[in-house]
Structure 1
């Protein structure tokens, strides 16, 4: 097998990322040398790669599905929204500008060349490249600057499959309309459809799919069932919903549950940090936006933010800041990660992200933060310095990655970690903070720390499982996804598209204009 394919979606969060991850895993299991590619991503969920840049987390997961280390090659252009109008532009892993929709135009030709070079390089090195679109190709108002959907497909002559989420309703109209609204040259690369998250008897859907094929001249290559046990790293902001559970909770090993309230910040970044907690039996994690939801939780997590000062103001406006202060006074456990850690400080000086100057933090940790360029991008390994009263005899390893402008200029609390020889993070009573993303994926570290949390919260009946590996859980999810695709997709038709490209006789749909 030799070739490439683009997976597009008729909406955001239609399932593009998971379908690409599943195809990558499926092909890798069959011995195909496969790589993922997303020309341009818009996401604040990112990771640091071995080559020292940052890419969207979904592409990192897709790389793992292929058996590869994450690389900036797999996501050469990343937009990280800091407000409704402006985003940080990351090119080949490095931040190069902050742009709005209009001044993004000045970058488009240079970005097209970078995207073309990276895709050509991957196609020369690997047997198959599975590309992921961005948003929807039906956003015709953005077609002139499109790098990831039909702009990429036309430039690289890629066959395209369109994924639709039937769980949201109206999928047949979405699929038809997405094709019909495109210009003829774009339509002729749309080769078929995949229906995602179907519940019920597929025979009831079949007449609609047959009629869709008659109307468009394009087949549906598979109907993927809604899988209750499947949960993959969140990519799109639509996946991080207030009051929604994270993952699939499993029964506790002991007599009690441990409940976690993760604050769903408006500009949340790296929301996937809390997914490691959700892997644990007896740990129930929910996203919250209301201060009342913090009251009964055993642990509150303040995650990362792409706009620390703005999200801090949101905490104050919603009353969550007051709830956190009351919680700290009562000894309730709190964890701040990256931007969340910065919000716990006494002062924040920011002339980089928000240009707000000096603003007061929540003051729950005795430290000061100042934002500066360049952005810190590094993968880090180290150990735990402060074990509390549990696990003191153990030299607990910890690993993760850092993505932040904020620097600690003063820390009067106990350091929590030692990373690459330097002290990092803070501990004060039942409050912990660190800039390290992904730390909770260090299994022994997570278990020991959860024992501390349970003790502080008075959950004496909570028992930490000794056999949970986050890496294994993610691998199992990828295999489950690959199994679903293997069972429910027309793999022969898929292989023909990859190797032969789009058929030459696909009909063009006409719409009265």
Structure 2
């Protein structure tokens, strides 16, 4: 049976669109529907890999909530900000880099045709498409918005508005959005992140029904989910713990989802270091991925991080580099393509060298660790990067790439340091347990035991939202 597409829009960024779409995908998939997620255009530096190449990490999670392999057609356009420019990825491949203002105000008819073609492709293979909007649909200052109202009218979707009631002004934001677009555009709304007595909302709910004919599909209490969050919504707040992990907050940090699992482990403390002295006392220092690696390497040198990292490394602190961070830990980077900064000396902790060229490597990976301390441990993940790195002591052997059997090496390691292109490395919980317990042993503290399953977290999210949403009305009215 085919259902009318459901379009979840928000009164603002951070209203909970991504979370609600993820929950609905799992709820309705569990009810036997063939569901696919869709987001026409996403702006994020948290990218993942699907069939066809690069896509937003949020849509990767939503695909998994549907029990499907992620496909770039679920996120046709991905915008990756870099300074005052925007890199545009279309159907998983690099499309171009544009001045941000010019792109937002440009005619996007070609992109819109691609979006509609991808939507039609998924529709033919699905009972239901659940679409996530981008930002607010009422951004009247932005011309040619292809991610919200224009798309909704083209596909005749059922449009539901989500408002973050925890921020305050939820009724006003719903009324304002409806007035700026069209009073008849939305079928109803969801209040998200509610705290308090729900009966206090009754007069407001009655007003929205009588004046705007908007159905109330549910009020969802505040919920701390354990799924990776969008980079724009990441708070960068740390937490305490017996094992201290310091993550350097690079100016162009990318794929912060790599580290969000640390916040689920009680014994692990995390801080995001903006200054070198904030690394003091760390058991582990992580240099994360970067959208502009050469610029961020120059930043580490200019701001004094290089000296501090080398000092702490000599004292026994473990140093980890992921993707761009791995490149920075090597002897040098040669970049005449991305930033055109030429040769830049690296931190010199790892015996590796990186040369940039125009080809971006985007792959789903399976491998085995070669690092002596974790030898033979199986890992999965993905890589998205420019640059090829040569290393004399590889961290891992890759034996499967995008579903094909291969044999090639990844990363580099020394006694207390390693670097790798594997994003999602720390979501390999067997490896993470061994890694953390190697530190616990050195510190003389109790072993760490924890369990994390993405499937379980998606199911818990779905269970919670199913209790508070009128799913039958969302699907059928």
Question: Within 2, Cα distance between the matches of 1:208 and 1:103?
Answer: 39
Name 1:157's counterpart in structure 2: 156
- Contact residue 3 and residue 123 of structure 1 kept, 8 A: no
Give the Å deviation of 1:54. 1.1
- Partner of 2:463, secondary structure, is helix
Name 1:148's counterpart in structure 2: 147
Question: Within 2, Cα distance between the matches of 1:296 and 1:124?
Answer: 56
Name 1:13's counterpart in structure 2: 14
Question: Within 1, Cα distance between the matches of 2:196 and 2:302?
Answer: 43
Name 1:39's counterpart in structure 2: 40
Question: Within 2, Cα distance between the matches of 1:291 and 1:242?
Answer: 16
Deviations 1:199-256 (A, max 9, x none): 121122333333344443323321110124x2221124222x23245xxx9xxxxxx8
Of 402, 411, 425, which aligns to 2:391? 411
Measured at CA, do residues 311 and 208 of structure 1 come closer, stay the same or move farther in structure 2, by a change above 3 Å? farther
Name 2:180's counterpart in structure 1: 181
Give the Å deviation of 1:4. 0.8
Measured at CA, do residues 264 and 201 of structure 1 come closer, stay the same or move farther in structure 2, by a change above 3 Å? farther
Which range moved further: 101-110 or 477-486? 101-110
Question: Within 1, Cα distance between the matches of 2:167 and 2:355?
Answer: 43
Give the Å deviation of 1:40. 0.8
Of 436, 446, 455, which aligns to 1:450? 436
Name 2:228's counterpart in structure 1: 233
Name 2:404's counterpart in structure 1: none
TM-score between both structures, scaled by the size of structure 2: 0.92
Measured at CA, do residues 344 and 178 of structure 1 come closer, stay the same or move farther in structure 2, by a change above 3 Å? same
Question: Within 2, Cα distance between the matches of 1:54 and 1:401?
Answer: 10
Of 302, 316, 336, which aligns to 1:351? 336
Question: Within 1, Cα distance between the matches of 2:210 and 2:324?
Answer: 51
Give the Å deviation of 1:263. 2.4
Name 1:511's counterpart in structure 2: none
Question: Within 2, Cα distance between the matches of 1:260 and 1:117?
Answer: 45
1:424 paired with 2:423, answer: no
Q: What does 1:331-480 correspond to in 2, within 5 Å? A: 331-388=316-373, 395-408=376-389, 410-412=390-392, 414-420=393-399, 421-455=407-441, 458-465=442-449, 468=451, 470=452, 472=453, 474-480=454-460
Question: Within 2, Cα distance between the matches of 1:346 and 1:237?
Answer: 32
Question: Within 1, Cα distance between the matches of 2:297 and 2:122?
Answer: 41
- Contact residue 21 and residue 61 of structure 1 kept, 8 A: yes
Name 1:306's counterpart in structure 2: 291
Measured at CA, do residues 373 and 491 of structure 1 come closer, stay the same or move farther in structure 2, by a change above 3 Å? same
Question: Within 2, Cα distance between the matches of 1:118 and 1:148?
Answer: 13
Question: Within 2, Cα distance between the matches of 1:168 and 1:131?
Answer: 24
Give the Å deviation of 1:417. 1.0
Give the Å deviation of 1:280. 4.0
How many residues in Structure 1 have an aligned counterpart in Structure 2? 468
Q: What does 1:264-283 correspond to in 2, within 5 Å? A: 264-283=249-268
Name 2:237's counterpart in structure 1: 243
TM-score between both structures, scaled by the size of structure 1: 0.86
Query: RMSD of aligned C-alpha atoms?
Result: 2.2
Of 270, 286, 311, which aligns to 1:326? 311
Measured at CA, do residues 231 and 276 of structure 1 come closer, stay the same or move farther in structure 2, by a change above 3 Å? closer
Which range moved further: 164-173 or 148-157? 164-173
